[in-house]
Structure 1
């Protein structure tokens, strides 16, 4: 049996998914979480084979949740579900260590196949998201995207520099470059443009 931890703040969706996946003869739901911090703790205590989690959650989002889990458990298999398969999000998810990336509209039977697939050490990316990523025209570097993403979380330049382990001056340079590339008059405007264009 493949031991699965389900993470989603939408209780109805999470419990319905747990019920459907439990019908499989190959999957056992060992725990559920409604937020990222709980998921990080449960990953340690429940020792799941695969974690299936939502991108958008209260507190820390799915990307940061994955980063923390992978830091403690480098071999952990993770499948991320999202309503918005933006290329920028896919890029960050893969960099964080996600092995499966699917839209929330996925059929439960396909999700089951993906869980089995990533459990065997392989990757699975939704075809629609993959196609969008191949045609992505984002001019921003990964670091510029990181600084804009943290800007949208309301962090100051000093807080961003602490989070990314970079000097404040370096963060300002990344933000300045992002503003030039997006045409934003401020770092917040640049972040808004990046999000509207699907780069974040």
Structure 2
């Protein structure tokens, strides 16, 4: 069984909903299973710390999750065209895995959510790819063979799955967004199986 790590940070639930759809796509592939993990928020107060176990939702990610995975889907809300600080903080602590080559040759995909159609989704997805490329991962995107990619009025890019919340913060995914997130998870799992064969 190939386990694919779906690692995300979500504040209002939109990125979590994308993560869940990606997990469904991974789990639809025979021989693959998703492992859903999140990261704690970052505080500007040096003494503040998050509890060891989150109050709800997925457990916090550990280095072993990265080392044990056969692939990685990385998700974050958009923050001024970049990934959110908690996810960046987690990735900044992965030097031991980089030195050991723990992620080299494994497939990876990225996903994001933002308030507006022009809120920096694509630059966020591209910025999330950078540390994965440094880790030697193989980036998997969404091809235009996915019909929703060419017709959705909402989220969805060839760089990865995305969701537009609108200013009313609509956390529910549109049908095309959900299908694209599912397709990305499925494509990631199939790639992981092919690479390990």
Quick check: which has more Rg, 1 or 2? 1
Structure with higher RCO (Cα < 8 A, 6+ apart): 2
Normalised TM-score (structure 2): 0.45
Q: If each structure's helix is expressed as a fraction of its own residues, which one has the higher value?
A: 1
